[in-house]
Structure 1
Amino acid sequence: MSTKHFLNDPTHLVNSALRSITLTNPLVALDPEHKIIYRRPTQNSSSQPNKKVSIISGGGSGHEPSFAAMVGPGLLDAAVSGTIFASPSAEQVRVAIMSRVDHASSSKEKDSGGGVLVTVMNYTGDVLNFGVAVEKARAAATGIPVEMVIVGDDVGVGRTKSGKVGRRGIAGTVLVHKITGALAAQGYGLADVTKVARLVADNLVSVGASLGHVHVPGRSKITQNDDTEGSFLGQDEVEIGMGIHNEPGSSIQSEEGGVKLPNLVKKMLSQLLDMSDKDRAFVTVNSNEVVLLVNNLGGVSPLEMGGIVTEVVDQLKENWNIRPVRILSGTYMTSLNGNGFSITLLNVVNTDIGGPGMVDLLDFPAECVGWAAPISKLAWEEKNMATREDSSSLGDVEETTRTSGLEFEDSKAAQERLEYGLKRVVQVEPEVTRYDTVVGDGDCGIGLTRGAQAILKHLSTTPLTGDVVSDVSRIVPVVENNMDGTSGALYAIFLNSLVAALKSAVGGEEGKTQASPKIWAQTLRKSCDSLSKYTPARPGDRTLVDALCPFVETLEETGDIEKAALAAKAGADKTKGMKASLGRTVYVGGDGFETVPDPGAWGLASFFLGLAGVKIEEASSAPLQQEKGDDDKMDDETEEGFSTPPAEKEKDDDWEAI
């Protein structure tokens, strides 16, 4: 694994790489603030009477030419980039949907022009952040027709190990982009384009292999002597199924005298095509038409790629009686400078839309720097055409806050309890961080604290007004702008859904309705249901859901916030010993699950305990440090900036006051 780079500042590296695309392709422009490459409007496109479907994709940087270099006529309309190996934020994606592509058609009919198809690879952060943006676009006043398709084509990690996460998205994703981009360019509607996108995704299988892990620019350098994470493979070793973010694969193959390509390709094709391997038999490739894509992960020489392609084609013919109708070879989706390659097979099937087939759509011209297509003379002549409006006028004017008619019984008491819950999150940050250091990457406590402190700052300048919908709506963007990663996206989806549920809980502005325990329970339940559409996490999967669901269920049953908070805490406690079923730990593993609770679940349970006014010592079985006496406790909290919890009331009154 080489740790030498020409550019070692990852932020500068990503920004420079994005700018380079605009220098080499006059058809695209860059929104540097949001890291969006998008198609530059031209005279031809502006004069078209019918608006086409726009295709948007994206993901972490480090996979170039995917996704930004795939923007151009016949392919993507916009691509959103995150930092290296990290999902872009929901806000970045929202701007791309709302302001960087054409969606002028206001009709929501299936066959109308316009609309947006968002295609995302199956990684938790990508799915959640893109999902938040899609939901926001659907809820916008303009009512943008938007669909989202998730692509998972990797068979390197089988069903047993991948669990609820499902197949990862790798190089086969570019075939979904190419085919849907061609359909959209020919004027097909959103319903047809979405249907074909899912059809292509369902007929893809891919697997990769690499001679070593990659080093991310800007990260600390390690040597083989201090390598504790298996980043170095031996001279005679190759890892099959390695992911495009350094994730472990299915096996490490070692042969005396070095890697033998024929044996490696034989095993890779077996994982793709052997229907007796029930752990990986995702697609039956029995079509007379098969498309082969051999993808360079970034560090394989063109000479070696030629030898690899020949070996793959020969074995497909001799061992599987498959003669691909199209053979694509090159650099389509990388893992930085990964010394490896991937094989993708597309089982060509009928699109059933009464138009061009998959192969015809792959052959359709595309004009971008990431796909083998020339840039025309006309494109250079149109280079100086006006770009879209800059980010200072994105066109998504904030809606005027309206009175919903749903009110807190006592907004001052509600704010006090909310602040105490948030301060409890800040207080337990060291514990949460320690738990996450044992079983994760150590950033959970810091992320939760960042969000809690941001809301506290917001409340200090913008106190609760008493209108529930208005007040929660104002908190949502605070969370979205300050909490990143997977947990940030989960909270954003949940809170956005909560706002919608609260709006529907009352009949409008006529009359006033107090937010009763029943209303809170019903709206929180609807938010849980919405969240479940974007994550397979369920109780027992060792996630924040293990605290959230018991809280909501107990509140539904009892209307008692204190009992609900204690149920959340009990749910978090039960995560000790659970094996993680979701998130990065599915791939990277880890020890210590039996000794600590899930960090996210415990952080959320701590918030609920603070919200309910439950003192730490009252939750005796909670894995928190024991507090001093009440007087000492209050003194300590005052010194640290913590407020005293609200005075005790009857439990039902407490909840109704919120």
Structure 2
Amino acid sequence: MSSKHFFDDPTTLVTTALASIPLTNPSVSLDLANKIVYQHSPTQGPSLISGGGSGHEPSFSSFVGRGLLTASVAGTIFASPSAEQVRRCITTRVRKDAGVLVVVMNYTGDVLNFGMAVEKARAGGCEVDMVVVGDDVGVGRGMGGKVGRRGIAGTCLVLKAVGAAKERGATLPQLSNLARQTASNLVSIGASLSHVHVPGRSIDTASDELAQSEVEIGMGIHNEPGSERKTTDLPGLVKTMLSHCLDTSDSDRNFLSITPDDDVVLLVNNLGGVSVLELGGITNEVVQQLESDWKIKPVRILAGTYMTSLNGLGFSVSLLKVTDTGLEGSSMLELLDAPAEASGWTAAITSETWQKRGAAKKQEEIAVGEEFQPGNLQLDPAVAKSAVTSALNRVIAAEPDVTNYDTIVGDGDCGIGLKRGAEAILNMLEKAKKTDDALTFLQNIIQVVEVTMDGTSGAIYAIFLNALAHGLRQNSPESPQPINAEIWGKALNSSLQSLRKYTPAQPGDRTLMDALFPFVETLSESGNVESAARAAEKGAQGTKGMRASLGRTVYVGGEGWQGVPDPGAHGLAELLLGLSEGLKK
């Protein structure tokens, strides 16, 4: 776990975070003394209140706004607010003329404190109802005992449905029934790679911290232990999580029966520390397994940050079985799709847009190639394939070194990018039709490079190779003849000049130009590929100790860069050495 925070005082952290909410949503106000966020001009009808310990943002304070909560009450980090805070919220911060519904998650502190406040408000003559949500299947019946299931991210779907129904004029009894109905058709489970550290607390170096390769399945949102730890990859983890949610033969965990005929809403929730990129990959894995293993195609898919555990390095999956709400003109999906003026609710896709999904007939991708005119320069296809294969294999073998060098002087992606391009070209060479036309052979390689290699290196290789094709065409004779070193040299020189239009890099700038220039120059002068490759190698090694004037290396401080060559130059030199070796075979 990471114990570094920008705020080390948890009290200051909670109060300043709460103070930020009215800054991002002018429709809400803050009672800082009681940690209450509330709508200052709520619409008519029942009020909807929720809350709990801080550390789960955007739940629940950032869910306050039209179409969602009327108010929320926050405790300190991972601790329930007091009954007095909740009572003041009910009696002084929301409308009470049409009643108040309180929705909380199933945690002892929340149930007791919110419950006590509800009873006090009732005693004072206020019509109040309370619904407790427990959707977590991570801890089964045996372990949960009398306490029952914990509340986790599925609670957000309950609040959204009820909040939308409130705006559409539902009464307090209707809202209470909807909340209970939605909660009873929910199953959720979380998993995390690490426990979290609460700001201001001493660092816990207990032996129960997860090992590097472990994942905890069923971990709660307050660092509570889950049901098991295991070493697995993402597909294996998702398989276990979905099984816990959907396997009807598991008597300990089977809280809800969902069949392929049911409409299902999927929520993939970020526990706080997962990147948006990774959460996208996780969502895709969950959707694919739901369809392949369970024949379930969700009618709605929500993915994002809804209920966190501070910066928890994990995610949760929630499945809601769609049922009839009993509210005329307000289906469950319409309620979930309805807009909400709350800064923490990020799902913005309308019902109309969702209904269009799958309406357009899927069309298979048809590869439409641009017209390409072959030239009159011929090569031996077997020799060309052998030489290029040798070059690409050498690049792949050099990837660890290139990656290591780029980790020291750049962002670490150079080696992976070169390897990805090399593997794709090798795959193309195995499948492509044999050709003795040099331009066609080169064009096949260019098409792969343009699609598979990204970043600066990918752009440079693509520009250079396209310019090389243009140079070969310019030097193509009127009648077919074998290509020779002289023609290669002329074409390489012209492509080098074209490349200079797009980058100011020159030898001495610590870039791949330190390998490319000497290769082209030596090949043009000698016509010997081996000599040219050795010149490229010498140029690449010469970048050691050279201070960069272009690229990310310019910004790298500290030590270490002096002892390694430029990654791009080293990778290119390895490619050219491999090409030379292949031509000698």
Give 1:207's aligned residue: 189
SS at match of 2:268: strand
Question: What is the CA–CA distance in structure 2 between the aligned matches of 1:269 and 1:344, rounded to whole Å?
Answer: 9
**After the TM superposition, which residues 318-397 of structure 1 pair with which residues of structure 2 at under 5 Å, given as runs?**
318-372=292-346
Q: Say if 2:304 and 2:346, in contact at 8 Å, map to a contact too.
A: no
C-alpha distance in structure 2 between counterparts of 1:100 and 1:192, whole Å: 22
**Structure 1 runs not aligned, ≥5 long:** 46-50, 106-113, 375-658
TM-score normalised by the chain length of structure 1: 0.52
Question: Separation in 2 of the partners of 1:222 and 1:204?
Answer: 34
CA contact (8 A) 1:18 1:68 kept: yes
CA shift, 1:14, in A, is 0.3
User: Does the aligned pair in 1 maintain the 2:64–2:71 contact within 8 Å?
Assistant: yes
> What is the letter of the counterpart of residue 119 of structure 1?
V
Equivalent position of 2:263 in the other structure: 289
Conservation of the 8 A alpha-carbon contact between 2:214 and 2:229: yes
Counterpart code for 2:258: V
* Partner Cα distance (1:285, 1:97) in 2: 37
Q: Measure, in 1, the Cα distance between the counterparts of 2:167 and 2:136.
A: 28
2:229 aligned residue? 252
Partner of 1:98: 91
User: Which of 144, 151, 159 is residue 126 of structure 2 equivalent to?
Assistant: 144
Deviation, 1:372, is: 1.9
Residue 384 of structure 1 aligns with which residue?
A: none
Q: Is 1:126 aligned with 2:110? A: yes
What SS does the corresponding residue of 1:33 show, helix, strand or coil?
helix
Deviations 1:423-482 (A, max 9, x none): xxxxxxxxxxxxxxxxxxxxxxxxxxxxxxxxxxxxxxxxxxxxxxxxxxxxxxxxxxxx
| Residues 581-592 of structure 1 mapped to structure 2, 5 A cutoff | none
Paired position in structure 1 for 2:51: 58
Partner deviation per Cα, 1:460-510 (whole Å, 9 max, x = no partner):
xxxxxxxxxxxxxxxxxxxxxxxxxxxxxxxxxxxxxxxxxxxxxxxxxxx
- The corresponding residue for 2:240 is 267
**Equivalent in 66, 70, 78 of residue 73 of structure 1:** 66
- Distance in 1 between residues matched to 2:230 and 2:272, nearest whole Å: 21
Partners in 1 of 2:204 and 2:54 — Cα distance? 22
Write out aligned runs for 1:233-244 (5 A): 233-244=210-221
Match of 1:188 in 2: 170
Which position in structure 2 is the counterpart of 1:87? 80
Distance across 2 between alignment mates of 1:273 and 1:303: 27
SS of 1:18's equivalent in the other structure is helix
Residues 331 and 373 (structure 1 numbering): CA distance in 2 closer, same or farther, change over 3 Å?
A: closer
Q: Provide the residue aligned with 1:9 in structure 2.
A: 9
The secondary structure found in structure 2 opposite 1:161 is helix
Contact 2:118–2:128 (8 Å) recurs in 1: yes
Deviates more, 1:167-176 or 1:347-356: 347-356
SS in 2 for 1:372: coil
Out of 131, 137, 160, the residue aligned to residue 142 of structure 2 is: 160
2:249 to 250, 254, 276: 276
Size of the alignment, in residue pairs? 347
TM-superposed deviation, 1:271 = 0.1
Cα distance in 1 for residues equivalent to 2:148 and 2:347: 33
Q: What amino acid is aligned across from residue 357 of structure 1 in structure 2?
A: S
Distance 1:351 1:41 in 2: 27
Structure 2 equivalent of residue 378 of structure 1: none
SS, match of residue 33 in structure 2:
coil
Asked whether the equivalents of residues 302 and 347 of structure 2 are also in contact (C-alpha less than 8 Å), the reply is: no
How far residue 29 of structure 1 moved from its aligned partner, in angstroms, is: 0.4
CA distance in 2, matches of 1:179, 1:352: 13
Q: Deviations over 1:140-180 (max 9, x none)?
A: 0xx11110000000000000000000000000000000000
Counterpart residue type for residue 273 of structure 1: L
Q: Partners in 2 of 1:221 and 1:290 — Cα distance? A: 41
Identity of aligned residues (%): 64
Distance 2:338 2:186 in 1: 20
Query: Take 1:314 and 1:272, find their aligned partners in 2: how far apart are those partners?
Result: 16
Shift of 1:288: 2.5
Partners of 1:354 and 1:21 lie apart in 2 by 34
Q: Tell me the distance in 1 between the aligned counterparts of 2:347 and 2:240.
A: 33
User: Which residue does the alignment assign to 1:641?
Assistant: none
Distance 1:322 1:263 in 2: 18
For residues 355 and 63 of structure 1, the distance between their equivalents in structure 2, rounded to whole angstroms, comes to 33
8 Å contact kept, 1:54–1:115: yes
Q: d(CA) in 2 for partners of 1:253 and 1:79?
A: 37
Provide Cα deviations, 1:533-555, integer angstroms capped at 9, x if missing partner. Answer: xxxxxxxxxxxxxxxxxxxxxxx
Give distance in 1, aligned partners of 2:136 and 2:113: 21
Q: Kindly report which structure 2 residues correspond to 1:430-441, keeping only aligned pairs within 5 A, or say none.
A: none
- 1:27 aligns with 27
How is 1:552-563 mapped onto 2 (pairs within 5 angstroms)?
Answer: none
Tell me, yes or no, if the aligned pair for 1:180 and 1:196 is still in contact at 8 Å: yes
For 1:328 and 1:222, locate their aligned partners in 2 and report how far apart those are by CA, in whole Å.
Answer: 34
Assess, with a 3 A threshold, how the Cα gap between structure 1 residues 340 and 373 changes in structure 2: closer, same or farther: closer
Instruction: Tell me the secondary structure at the aligned position of residue 12 of structure 1.
Output: helix
- The Cα of 1:343 is off from its aligned counterpart by 0.1
Does the 8 Å contact 1:76/1:177 carry over to 2?
yes
Distance 1:372 1:155 in 2: 25
1:623-634 → structure 2 map (5 Å cutoff) = none
Tell me the TM-score normalised to structure 2 length: 0.59
Distance 1:169 1:178 in 2: 15
2:430 aligned residue? none
- Report if the CA contact (8 A) 1:53-1:184 is conserved: yes
* 1:222 to partner: Cα distance: 3.5
On the 8 A contact 2:270/2:314 being kept in 1, the answer is: yes
State the 1:373 CA deviation: 6.5
Q: State the alpha-carbon separation in 1 of the partners of residues 316 and 345 from structure 2.
A: 17
1:199-252 Cα shifts (integer Å, max 9, x gaps): 0000000000000000000001244xxx24x1x211110000000000000100
* Conserved? CA contact 2:137–2:189, under 8 Å: yes
What is the aligned-residue RMSD (CA, Å)?
Answer: 1.1
Q: Matches of 1:373 and 1:235 in 2, distance apart? A: 33
Helix, strand or coil for the counterpart of 2:345? coil
CA deviations 1:576-617 (Å, max 9, x no partner) are: xxxxxxxxxxxxxxxxxxxxxxxxxxxxxxxxxxxxxxxxxx
Offset of residue 357 of structure 1: 1.1
Quick one: higher RCO (CA 8 Å, sep 6+), 1 or 2?
Answer: 1
One-letter amino acid matched to 1:205:
V
- Secondary structure of 2:145's counterpart equals helix
| 1:11 partner letter | T
Q: Secondary structure at the match of 1:174?
A: helix
Assess if the C-alpha contact under 8 Å between 1:367 and 1:373 holds in 2: no
Q: Deviations over 1:182-206 (max 9, x none)?
A: 0001111001111010000000000
- The structure with the largest alpha-carbon Rg is 2
Residues in 2 aligned to 1:127 and 1:320: alpha-carbon distance in whole angstroms? 35
Shift of 1:355: 3.5
